[in-house]
């Protein structure tokens, strides 16, 4: 059975959504990043990058959320919008766009707005600007199509969903959805799916640390150690 190493954050939720949609049996392994589970040697063998999500599929380990989506979709031939060469190219392009743009810029926007030890105007402006720029590109893309690729609900929509759920947290409040109506339409459609509701409910069925206290900051932001030594 697949083991899913999970924390209720945007990237792991994409994979939980896929597994729920595909009705693949899986065992959830709580990987509480606020408690430092991502740095444990046993987990680093599964994901040397010390982040969630990761999966074990038998003896095969896969890490990085969009790699997991592609691996599972290809293996089970499900939720791949890849009927044509053009759709395959679009699928890869948008999956990489989410992995290298939407995720990191949204994550850094949150970091500098909410978690940096001191406010740094330049960084706040840069990441807010880039996060908005990436989300606006998705909004524009979705203006003329129901789904991200090929008129089909696919892993690309699941990848977008993981982050679209937290847009208010990333872009400064729920009003951000008013400026991204096409992204919001896709989000609402996926949120209405029972699989999305089951994926969201995982956090209520397991215990995860909720406070970002000093210990959690040490686990999540190890770079701060270097500041302390200066």
Ligand X SMILES: N[C@@H](CCC(=O)N[C@@H](CS)C(=O)NCC(=O)O)C(=O)O
Nearest to 22 by CA among 61, 99, 74: 74
Q: What minimum distance in Å lies between the beta carbon of 3 and ligand X?
A: 16
Distance CA 215, CA 211 (A): 9
Complex with ligand X: residue 20 or 64, whichever CB lies closer: 64
Nearer to ligand X, 52 or 139 (CB): 52
Give CA–CA dist 64/199, Å, rounded. Answer: 18
Residue with smaller CB distance to ligand X, 101 or 103: 103
Smaller CB distance to ligand X: residue 185 or 200? 200
Closest to ligand X by CB, 9 vs 113, is 9
Q: Which is nearer to ligand X, 44 or 74 (CB)?
A: 44
Nearer to ligand X, 103 or 150 (CB): 103
Residue ranges in 35-74 that form contacts with ligand X under rule CB under 6 A: 38, 51-53, 64-66
Strand 54-57 to strand 60-63: parallel, antiparallel, or no bridges (unpaired)? antiparallel
Q: Which residues contact 17 (CB under 8 A, 6 or more apart)?
A: 158, 161, 162, 190, 195, 196, 199
Which of 21, 33, 135, 139 contacts ligand X by CB under 6 A?
Answer: 33
What ranges in 167-213 are assigned the alpha helix state H? 167-170, 176-179, 181-191, 194-205
Is 96:43 a contact under the CB 8 Å cutoff? no
Task: Give least dist CB 178 to ligand X, A.
Answer: 25
Min dist CB 94 to ligand X, Å, is 14
Does 212 bind ligand X (CB under 6 A)? Our answer is no
Q: What is residue 149's DSSP assignment?
A: B
| Options 24, 46, 99, 110; binder of ligand X; rule CB under 6 A | 99
Report in angstroms the alpha-carbon separations of 95 from 14, 91, 138, 216: 12, 6, 12, 30
Distance CA(52)–CA(39), nearest Å, equals 11
Size of the residue set binding ligand X (CB under 6 A) = 15
Q: 74: helix, coil or strand?
A: helix
Binding to ligand X in span 109-148, by CB under 6 A = none
What residues form DSSP beta bridges with 152?
Answer: 149
Per CB under 6 A, the list member of 4, 11, 184, 216 interacting with ligand X is 11
Question: Residues interacting with ligand X, by CB under 6 A?
Answer: 7, 9-11, 33, 38, 51-53, 64-66, 99, 103, 220
């Amino acid at each position: 059975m697949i083991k899913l190493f999970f924390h209720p954050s945007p990237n792991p939720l994409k994979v939980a959504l896929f597994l729920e949609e595909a009705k693949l049996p899986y065992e959830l392994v709580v990987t509480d990043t606020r408690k430092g589970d991502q740095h444990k040697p046993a987990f680093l063998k599964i994901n040397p990058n010390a982040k969630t999500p990761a999966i074990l599929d038998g003896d095969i380990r896969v890490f990085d959320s969009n790699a997991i989506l592609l691996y599972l979709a290809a293996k089970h031939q499900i939720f791949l919008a890849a009927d044509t060469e053009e759709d395959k190219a679009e699928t890869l392009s948008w999956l990489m766009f989410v992995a290298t743009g939407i995720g990191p810029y949204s994550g850094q926007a949150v970091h500098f707005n909410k978690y940096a030890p001191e406010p740094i105007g330049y960084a706040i402006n840069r990441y807010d600007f880039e996060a908005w720029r990436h989300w606006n590109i998705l909004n524009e893309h979705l203006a003329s199509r129901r789904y991200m690729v090929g008129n089909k609900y696919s892993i690309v929509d699941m990848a977008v969903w993981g982050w679209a759920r937290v847009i208010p947290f990333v872009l400064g409040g729920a009003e951000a959805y008013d400026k991204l109506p096409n992204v919001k339409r896709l989000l609402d459609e996926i949120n209405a799916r029972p699989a999305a509701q089951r994926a969201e409910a995982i956090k209520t069925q397991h215990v995860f640390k909720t406070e970002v206290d000093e210990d959690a900051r040490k686990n999540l932001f190890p770079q701060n150690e270097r500041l302390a030594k200066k």
